[in-house]
Structure 1
Amino acid sequence: MSTPLTRTTDTPTPPIRLVHLGLGAFHRAHQVWYTQQAEADPADPQWGYASFTGRGPLMADQLDRQDGLYTLVTRSGDGDSCELMTSLVEARPADDIVRLVELLADPATAVVTMTVTEAGYHLAADGSLDETDEEVTADTRILREVLDTSGKVPDTLDTAAGKIVLGLAARRANGGPGIAVMSCDNVADNGALTRASVIGLARQLDEELAGWIEENVTFPSTSIDRITPAADDELAADVAEQTGHDDLAPVVTEPFASWVIEGGFPAGRPDWEDAGVVFVDDIEPFERRKLWLLNGSHSLMAYYGQLRGHTTVAEAIGDEQVAARVAALWDEAARHLTAEGLEVPAYREDLIERFRNPRIRHNLAQIAVDGGTKQRMRAVPIMKAERAEGRDGSAAAFSIAAWITHLLRQDLITDTRAAELSAAAHDPDPVAALIAALDAELAADADAVELIRTHVTTIRED
């Protein structure tokens, strides 16, 4: 008979020195896992996480009932391995802003990490804070009142930047040291974009606060990678059978993991390099390799694979036509991935092996969400890079066309830009309108639009 997970006197419990926004499966399979692996003495850990959900309280409630403990299941063709994760000390709901501010004001807190998705930074097309965004304007109004008058922590804030700015204001008022705020989202140049989001909001509230953040807060850039499918009831049953514990919130992942970081940490950090994290002086080539090869092929398979009747990555990559389109996209991307140390051929081989892992059920529908933002970062840059060198970028154009075709077949668009994309989909020329929603420069290239339109026709006739 299985027993509930709970901390005991024998369970190592590190002090909280890390805060995370966006408590989900990837965070628990990646940042928490790396942190636990990096401890010099597992019996006396020094770095614990307090992690906050992105929206609702469900995951925090489930993990709180287990004192933050959960099982990480690593699946390969050889079977499962289960690891008890102990470095997540507190799981908090998104609206527990009082606790978040308390933690950010604490000088012992050294790093804030984030997985809030690309849309969670509320950025305009030029990479600056979108000051017209409704959630940004609402948070600005609330924070201005808090900082100018009451000083009371508000009951709600909608944006990650708003929560961080409030916490940094408390840290400044408390005389605390600098801190690192680090995005772990699949966004190119995510350190600079996080900086723009946080300082952009702070500048609307208090120039002196914005100046303090510029001088004392760093925004490291990261490239992260580990496939982490959504959990299901079967996973919980497997964990109970293999470990003897009932786990309300197990996580399943693949053996492969990667984390590349550029930037400094003024208040210190875990020895992540001891767990395999790579620190570099220039992260951009590694970001592009990951976004264009892994994420780019994921998006292509998510749309084209589903159109061909597949439900998982393993199924899609097993389809010769899908695999050929993936290889063509990689060929185009590889022409622009030439920096030293990228080892693109070996990286491609690893990706194929990972995609074919029979024990990882990575659902295409899960990957397909928010394509209106993802394809901006994945297929569009490849196509533009190819066209800038005199080639047509046909493989990347096919990926964009697959997204358009998939979207036009949806009764309900699942995207943070759903209203904008729905309007484009109902335009008299939906193909051109959806391309414009991705990238204005590409939409102004008549030949590029016609190439994508031709691919849409081909996919529809397939």
Structure 2
Amino acid sequence: MPRPTRRAPRAPVRIVHLGLGAFHRAHQAWFTAHADPGREWGIAAFTGHSPDQAALLARQDDVYTLLTRGADSDGIETVESIVAAYEGADTDALRDLLRRPQVSIVTLTVTEKGYRLAADGRLDRDDPDVRADLALLAAALGPDAAPVTPGALKTMPGRLLWGLDARRGAVPDAPLALVPCDNLDANGAALERALIDAATAVSPQLAAWIGQRIDIVSTAVDRITPRVTPADLAAFQARTGVDDDALVITEPFHSWILTDTFRGARPRWEDAGALFVADIAPFERRKLWMLNGAHSLLAYDGLIRGRETVAEAIADPSGAAGVRALWDLAEALLPDADLDLPGYRAALTARFANPAIAHRLRQIAADGSVKLRARAVDPLRLALARGVSGAAAIRLIDAWIRFVVAEVRAGRPLDDVAADELARRAAAADPPHALLELLAPDLAAADVRLSPVRP
């Protein structure tokens, strides 16, 4: 059975991407393909923790099929904007690419936990992988210049910092923009804090250079991209006669909003529908609080109720009511200008109910201890500060707590970066308070009222 094949010459590498997964291939790679008719902007992509995706793409010329599923029709296209794929551990390749002046952009989709931030938003120096990476980098950037072997650095901040050190040594004045595309409020500022905190610890000179020479762009990204199952692959093969192990399934909707703070060259992503704005914060919060927050509520509440997908959970009157309350809270907190909140709500309702997208709640439920900081804690803090009822955000935190406690009591492993700590706190005398203290110590100290958990 044939695999997808490249039909045009590879574009030169001018973008490096960290976090090669389905969302990147449905979003930034798709936008680049549609904004680059002259094939001037090739992407060299690095995997996250697993090297599998690089191997899959290598077997088929680094191209893949994007299957767009709408409620009434499908679209199929082959995407060729990725021109090279590497294991994330291959930091030698990353340093080689970042030494090239023609590379002017690094995009990232490493998930919220990949930034290795603590609850206060700074680099988590208590994270053992962070500590190990900083020790390696301190030795490598110190007077003895100890080598860093590929695979030794484990974290995104450590790997990217090592790559930026190579660029500073080779082409220090060549413009470079870092473009985080993860669901963090002010994701550009979050990336900057992670990098500057790490660089300050190992090389103040590198930290100063990053602050002066590197552009860090904030973004809001949106395209629902469910995990592809073996059944999806088999159905696609039967339908098309093509064997594509790197198949990506997504929805027709796509949105990319960016701050226009590039000093160097970039693709004309606006030709593919991207929007460049001066103030991205309202757009970020609209997406985090209304789409991602609603997804999290549907995931935790829905799994407890025996639902499996977003479409099933939103069809449940309880789930739909909780989502409407979250959206009402978001409307009360967000500014009116240019956000079209009624239209955004209507679009989300249709997207959530799309029967062709099986967005599984277990996928959404992962890493709630990190995700809920932006999706529930931030709007709750703002509601409390403004004297607005934060009951809808508290309900989301309640649902997460009930889910965590139920999973621990059932003996099911938690898919969360803080799984061991969550299990310990779920067994405490007062699980709601113990879990809230991990999520948001200030709210726990403020005695935010949560629902009790039955013994």
Using structure 1 for the length normalisation, give the TM-score: 0.94
Amino acid in the other structure paired with 2:259: E
The answer as to whether partners of 1:146 and 1:154 remain within 8 angstroms in 2 is no
> Out of 272, 282, 286, which is 1:285 matched to?
282
Within the alignment, does 1:119 sit opposite 2:117 as a pair? Answer: no
**In the alignment, what sits opposite 2:55?**
61
Shift of 1:24: 0.4
1:154 is aligned to 2:149 = yes
CA shift, 1:274, in A, is 0.7
CA–CA distance in structure 2, aligned partners of residues 329 and 248 of structure 1: 38
Superposed displacement of residue 243, structure 1: 3.9
Gaps of 5+ in 2: none
Could you tell me how far apart the structure 2 residues matched to 1:119 and 1:439 are? 16
| Cα separation, 2, equivalents of 1:386 and 1:205 | 39
Deviations 1:58-82 (A, max 9, x none): 1111111112110000001122211
For 1:96 and 1:187, locate their aligned partners in 2 and report how far apart those are by CA, in whole Å: 26
* Structure-1 residue corresponding to 2:451: 453
Matches within 5 A, 1:87-102: 87-102=81-96
TM-aligned CA deviation for residue 242 of structure 1 = 4.3
Q: Deviations over 1:258-296 (max 9, x none)?
A: 111014223311100111111111111001100000000
Of 170, 173, 176, which aligns to 1:174? 170
Matched, 1:417 2:411: no
How does 1:83-232 map onto structure 2 within 5 Å?
83-148=77-142, 149-150=144-145, 152-155=147-150, 156-176=152-172, 177-232=174-229
Q: For the residues of structure 2 that align with 1:244 and 1:169, how far apart are their CA atoms?
A: 46
- Matches of 2:442 and 2:260, distance apart in 1: 31
Shift of 1:312: 0.2
* Per-residue Cα deviation, 1:103-135 (whole angstroms, up to 9, x for no partner): 111111111111111111112232222223211
Aligned pairs for 1:427-438 (under 5 A) are 427-438=428-439
**Letter of the 1:172 counterpart:** R
Given candidates 330, 347, 354, the residue that maps to 1:350 is 347
In the aligned structure 2, how far is the partner of 1:106 from the partner of 1:373? 35
Taking only the aligned residue pairs, the percentage that are identical comes to 46
The letter of the residue matching 2:39 is: P
Structure 2: distance between partners of 1:388 and 1:200: 29
Aligned to 2:251: 254
Mark the runs of 5 or more structure 1 residues left unpaired by the alignment: none
Q: Secondary structure at the match of 1:397?
A: helix
For residues 382-431 of structure 1, the C-alpha deviation after alignment (integer angstroms, 9 at most, x for no partner) is 22322333344222111111111111011222210112222211211111
What SS does the aligned partner of 1:360 have? coil
Number of positions where the alignment pairs a residue of Structure 1 with one of Structure 2? 448
In structure 2, give the amino acid aligned to 1:453: S
- State the AA in 2 paired with 1:415: D
* Cα distance in structure 1, aligned partners of 2:420 and 2:414: 9
Residues 192-243 of structure 1: CA deviation (Å, up to 9, x unaligned): 1101111211111211111111111011000000000000123223333444
Pairwise CA RMSD:
1.6
Separation of aligned partners in 1, 2:41 and 2:280: 25
Point out 4+ residue stretches in structure 1 off by more than 3 angstroms. Answer: 150-153, 241-244
Structure-2 separation of matches of 1:183 and 1:417: 23
Partner Cα distance (1:239, 1:88) in 2: 22
Report if aligned partners of 1:219, 1:263 keep a CA contact under 8 Å in 2. no
